[in-house]
Structure 1
Amino acid sequence: MELSAVLIPAPEGGCVAFNPETGTTTQGESIEEALANLREATELYLEEFPVKVVGRALLTSFQLPERA
């Protein structure tokens, strides 16, 4: 099963990892650690709450107008 991961730098260092298909979130000191933790957390979540994944999330960006 292929799932999405969103990685966001954490203010205290390391990064936060989020899986949008299940809502699982975790963190790690490195990208590799955050992904490993997310994989484990998502596997545990899916054992308890199986879901049918219908597709991967699409990550994009948008801009807001500058405020004066």
Structure 2
Amino acid sequence: MEIMSRLYARYFNGDLEIHSVDGHGTDAYVYLQAVEDQASEWLPICNRAAYEYYASRKYQSDWTKKK
């Protein structure tokens, strides 16, 4: 699971660090881009206008759809 979490963090230009703390457990630190201008991934805006925009579009099948 650690590998997948680190891959997701790096996909968003971040990183994941995991440290074992003797007698206490494990600490996990996730670093992600906080400055919007430096982010390379556009995240969706979830509001009524976005829903209406996407609901009105007709999508074509892509490579993930089985025929």
Q: TM-score, normalised by structure 2?
A: 0.30
Higher helix residue share: 2
Q: TM-score, normalised by structure 1?
A: 0.30
